Amino acid sequence: MKNPIFKGILVAAVFYIVLMIIEGALHPAILPAAAVGSVILCFLATVFLWENEHAVHKGEVIILWTMVLLFAAYGLVFFFLGGGFA
How far apart CA 50 and CA 26 sit, in angstroms, is 34
- Domain limits, the chain: 1-49, 52-86
Does the pLDDT of residue 1 top 60, yes or no?
no
Secondary-structure breakdown of the chain: helix, strand, coil percentages, each rounded to the nearest 5 = 85, 0, 15
What tens digit of pLDDT does each residue of 19-50 get? 888 988 898 888 888 888 888 888 878 877 77
pTM: 0.59
Range 57-76 average pLDDT: 84
Tell me: pLDDT of 67 over 80. yes
Dihedrals φ, ψ of 82, to 5°? 80, 25
